[in-house]
Every structure is written in C-alpha cells, then in structure tokens.
Structure 1
C-alpha cells in the first residue's frame, strides 16, 4: 500500500480524504453509453492527439459492481508533455489530480460533473496493455469476475482514509487475475 507521503507526493492539490467505506453500485447498462459520450468529447477536444482511448475499470465490465465512476485510458504521444493535452481537457471540465512521473509518466484527470477518471500514458506504455488485458479477462472469464467481485465487496465494507488505500488493498487479487490474463494473451500470440 502507498504511504500517506507517497499519496501526497503524486497528488496535484490536496488529496481527497475519504474516511469512509466504499459505495459500490450494481452494474449499470448505461455505463458504456456514458463512456461513448465522454469519448466523443475528448476526441473533439484533442483531435489527432488521441492515439488510443478505451473504457477500462469496473464500469467497463458488464455484470461487475463498481464505484459509479467511468475510468478511461488515453494514450498520447508524450504524457509528460502536459501542455500538449491538459489545457484542451480543462476546457471540457477535466482537472489534473495525479502526476506520477516515476510510474510510466502517468497522469489522472478527473471530471467531477460526470464522475470520470482519465488515465493518461504515453502511447506504447505497457500499463495500457495491462489495463485492457485485465478488463478483457474479467469480461470473458466468469470465475475471475466472481473472484474480483467478492474481493471488492468484502473490502468495500472497511473504512479507508484514501480511495487509493482501497485500490491498493485489491493488489494481490488483481495481480493473480493479471497473471492469468497475460499468460492467456501470450498463449494466443504463440509466444
């Protein structure tokens, strides 16, 4: 789990303190439509700077409960070059909240009005592949979907100071599922 100092070091502005349990909503068939609307807005704002934009996270997996926040992953030419995309995203309501230069130059922008997180990486970053592989594994393997759902439900009942603490607490299960996803992916590719 990240320490409070680590959370503070990557947060732009003050971190959001939760000090509560996690609300998980039942799967909502409207989530893909919400993503489609957000995708259009982002593509319009950034135009050809969008090299990849995908719906990821629990709201992208039918049948999975989730915090009702749409997670998206965006690939740009250079995620460390914030001036190349952040101002355009700010014009449509996104706010830069996380800057992790030591972890794939990861950035997170949040859209408060619609409850959305936009994870930004440089095109070709291996974390993009991992996020998509994890999503696809949950979509196609009911046993892993059930394992993840059970883990999330159990952990959501605990009180967490930061949302990141809850996310970090799922790491062991995520790692197991990810290993299976990447193994399957490598088998499909014949590696």
Structure 2
C-alpha cells in the first residue's frame, strides 16, 4: 500500500537544502532530565494558547516527542505537532504564532513541507505539517508504541543517554540515537502489519 510506504520510509535530510530560516542554531548542551509530571500540563497550556491564536487554522495539535511519554527521561523541551491545511501558507499561521513569541527556525520543503517554530521559555519545538503527513503519523505511532512498550521505552532512554557524551549540537545528538529509533520504528511497523 502506497500510504504505508510513505509512513515506513526512513528519510535523511536533503543535503542540497538549507532548512535554517535564521541560520543554524548556536551550540546547545544536551541535558536529559528525569520525567517531569508537569510536562503534560505545560503542553495543555501551550496547546490552548496555540488553538486560541489560530482558531480554525489549527486542524490538530498533538503532544509528541519524549515529554509526551510518561516515565521517559528527556530534554526539557515540549514537542508539539501542529496540523494546518497547507504549511506553505505561512501567512495563515506564522504571524499569529510570532505574536505569542514563537520564531520560525526551520523550513523544509523536501520533508513533507515541514516547518518548525521555537518558543524560548518554556522551551518548545512546534512542528507544522499538513493533513495526513507521513511524519506526523510516525510521531504519533512512536509515542503510542513507547507508551505501551516499556522495554523499548527503556532502550530508547538508554540510547538518549549514550548519545550525550559525543558532544556537538542537538543535530549530532539526534544522529547518534538514530539507529535505535529506526529499529524501534521497524518493530512497531511490523507489529502494525505495515512492513
């Protein structure tokens, strides 16, 4: 099935594309902290603000990433997926989010038209995708799998901790844990009958 192929395909960034809207990020020290039960409440507050600012433009707002998985240690950054009708129509959502304090930092036309806005305090990565984006579906599937599979949750946490000593920026940290992430994805895709 074609839709399954899009969801199960692992993608690497397009080397010819410069995704940075305001230049690459400054060096950030990656710190993993124990799970914080305040993360879901923080997400709820942020999501309510986003929905209020965007109204009907926000087709969906989801808590994703490690802070959405109870018991998982993580960077103290809330990841949110925002679904809009067309991420390319930035004038429909970016100005309203900028008024809240978000800054557009990534534009990736080759990656399902992904946009990412950051909010400094509390730290947020707001990922923008269109309806039925394969990557947004992957995010939800990964979150739900780790919520239900403690062995893979522990494996992922160990991969995160092992990725820190290499130093570098967040992108380097993400690259060092990528093999484990892809192994978990393959496991969950097989279990869902998608591979």
> After TM superposition, is the score higher than 0.5?
yes
TM-score by length of 2: 0.88
Distance apart, 1:172 and its partner CA: 1.0
The 5-angstrom pairing of residues 26-175 of structure 1 reads 26-160=34-168, 162-175=169-182
Distance apart, 1:2 and its partner CA: 7.4
Q: Give yes or no for the alignment of 1:14 onto 2:12.
A: no
TM-score by length of 1: 0.90
> Aligned equivalents of 1:134 and 1:12: distance in 2?
28
Contact preservation (8 Å) 1:78, 1:122: yes
> Aligned equivalents of 1:131 and 1:86: distance in 2?
22
Contact preservation (8 Å) 1:96, 1:108: yes
Structure-2 change in CA distance of 1:2 and 1:136 (3 Å): closer
Structure-2 change in CA distance of 1:121 and 1:59 (3 Å): same
Partner secondary structure for residue 54 of structure 1: strand
Distance apart, 1:28 and its partner CA: 0.3
> Aligned equivalents of 1:92 and 1:45: distance in 2?
8
- Unmatched tracts of structure 2, length 5 or more: 1-10
Distance apart, 1:179 and its partner CA: 1.4
Aligned residues: 185
Distance apart, 1:35 and its partner CA: 0.1
1:177 is matched with: 184
Contact preservation (8 Å) 1:79, 1:106: yes
Partner secondary structure for residue 45 of structure 1: helix
> Aligned equivalents of 2:123 and 2:28: distance in 1?
19
Partner secondary structure for residue 18 of structure 2: helix
Structure-2 change in CA distance of 1:150 and 1:178 (3 Å): same
Deviations 1:48-78 (A, max 9, x none): 1111110000100111111100000011000
Structure-2 change in CA distance of 1:164 and 1:97 (3 Å): same
